[in-house]
Chain A
């Protein structure tokens, strides 16, 4: 059985949480940019 090394397990989980947080920030930044350009709708 080939187990996933512990450091990769950490990268997988922490990476997923970081990317999820980044996605939320990206959505907020995009909305601010769209609002500034009057391109929301």
Chain B
């Protein structure tokens, strides 16, 4: 059955990618879905991209290890989407012809800040892509018995193929269908579990056997809450995955779509995570905590439960991998190829290069994921302190006209260094927190003591794909 589902979904996504890809006739279409995405697809693509395999696998693990606060802590990642909503509106307003988050940093803060930002952003994107590909192979193997290398290769290359053919049109379109499948699947599995095992029984068993999981004042959980919140904020504020969506959405849609996506995402970690709390009542021996969700679903719902979990996880992975491929390709094409290598590249040359880069990213992720080095997946957590350090330069750059480029450079660089030291010396839960705090101090102090003037009009930069060159004063 696992094989049949894998093949059926693969055919569906590729067919839809090719179908929607016919709309992507120019660079704006291929990279930004024509800059005209409406409310429904805009909301769904933001929500589905943020639902990764981690949401469906790690939320139950958080519930199992940190109790109710663990699930709630995971839910705080939705604040990243909600808080990005006003930024998305401002980005759309200030940069009507913008393509990437790199464009913003380069124009706003100059080349040195841009290089640091690109290093952080590309490192983060590639490690996220690799960790998603590896998670795909591991999860498909655990849920359906499909060989790791085969499962990982299929899910990665299917995403590469439909993103390659359809660009952001295919990504946004498939994200809508995937988000509906994820939401309905999570509800069906959750309700199925509650029918088999009443919630009152789960609560009373926890009260007797493991009351710590119901503790409202578990310190580790409260720390996880803040770290998760800041890691999520840093990921969303800096990553081109979210900036390309802001550029792709219709101007009036961007803010509301992100806000609604945050509210739609908020309950998912709890709806998907609570089933882990039933493992005690069922007497399940959990050897691998991240597999507790699928284990409980399979134990209570049997074959149907396993299929439900398989479908939800497959869609969670695909909706994130396709977005990463499209957005990272856009970042490399625009910021490295066009700005550093071939400034006179035409619209069609850039579109072709974006496609080659999608293929290249797929190949790199596939080669690195092939040996299944488990420690590699944790490399993504190193990105936490780095992305945390970008929060303040992004926010002040968008809203504070006199923000100083030196503040952004020092904030990102020293924030990353301090965050990484904290990661090693204190623990994973402190990395993003220290990175963001250090960056905040440098950015706020330097901006206050040495303000530098900036004309917002400069952000409205012309691009080869623009039909008319905008006026820049």
Report which A residues bind B (CB closer than 8 A). 1-4, 6, 9-10, 12-21, 23-24, 26-28, 30-31, 33-34, 37, 39-41
Interface string of B12-40 (1 = CB under 8 A from A): 00000000000100000000011011111
> When the two chains form their complex, are residues A41 and B211 in contact, meaning their CB atoms are under 8 A apart?
no
**Which of B177-185, B234-242, B457-465 sits within the interface?**
B177-185
**Which of B81-89, B199-207, B287-295 sits within the interface?**
B199-207
> When the two chains form their complex, are residues B187 and A17 in contact, meaning their CB atoms are under 8 A apart?
yes
> When the two chains form their complex, are residues B260 and A3 in contact, meaning their CB atoms are under 8 A apart?
no
Closest approach, in angstroms, between the C-beta of A17 and any C-beta of chain B? 5
> When the two chains form their complex, are residues A20 and B41 in contact, meaning their CB atoms are under 8 A apart?
no
Given contacts A19-B266, A21-B187, whether A34 and B203 have CB atoms under 8 Å apart is no
Give chain A residues whose Cβ lies under 8 Å from the Cβ of B36: 41
> When the two chains form their complex, are residues A20 and B38 in contact, meaning their CB atoms are under 8 A apart?
no
Most chain A beta-carbon contacts within 10 A, residue among B68, B263, B271: B271
Closest approach, in angstroms, between the C-beta of A36 and any C-beta of chain B? 11
Q: Is the interface of A mostly helix, strand, loop or mixed?
A: helix
A9 to B194, CA, bound (A): 13
> When the two chains form their complex, are residues A2 and B264 in contact, meaning their CB atoms are under 8 A apart?
no
Give chain A residues whose Cβ lies under 8 Å from the Cβ of B184: 24
A2 to B207, CA, bound (A): 11
Report which B residues bind A (CB closer than 8 A). 23, 33-34, 36-41, 43-44, 47, 68, 71, 169, 176, 179-180, 183-184, 186-187, 190-191, 194, 199-200, 203-204, 207, 211-212, 214-217, 250, 260, 263-264, 266-268, 270-271, 274
Q: Is the interface of B mostly helix, strand, loop or mixed?
A: helix
A7 to B216, CA, bound (A): 14
Contacts A2-B215, A17-B190, A26-B43 aside, 20 further interface pairs with beta carbons under 8 A come to A1-B212, A3-B216, A4-B68, A6-B204, A9-B203, A10-B200, A13-B190, A16-B270, A19-B267, A21-B183, A23-B183, A23-B267, A24-B183, A27-B44, A28-B180, A30-B40, A33-B40, A34-B38, A39-B39, A39-B250
Q: Which of A1, A9, A30 is within 8 Å of B215, CB to CB?
A: A1
Residue of A nearest to B39 (CB): A30
14 example contacts (A-B, Cβ-Cβ < 8 A) are as follows A1-B215, A3-B207, A4-B68, A6-B200, A6-B203, A13-B194, A14-B199, A17-B194, A19-B266, A20-B186, A20-B187, A20-B190, A30-B39, A34-B40
> When the two chains form their complex, are residues B271 and A17 in contact, meaning their CB atoms are under 8 A apart?
yes
A38 to B146, CA, bound (A): 42
> When the two chains form their complex, are residues A39 and B266 in contact, meaning their CB atoms are under 8 A apart?
no
Given contacts A17-B191, A41-B41, whether A27 and B183 have CB atoms under 8 Å apart is yes
A23 to B264, CA, bound (A): 5
A2 to B47, CA, bound (A): 34
> When the two chains form their complex, are residues A20 and B203 in contact, meaning their CB atoms are under 8 A apart?
no
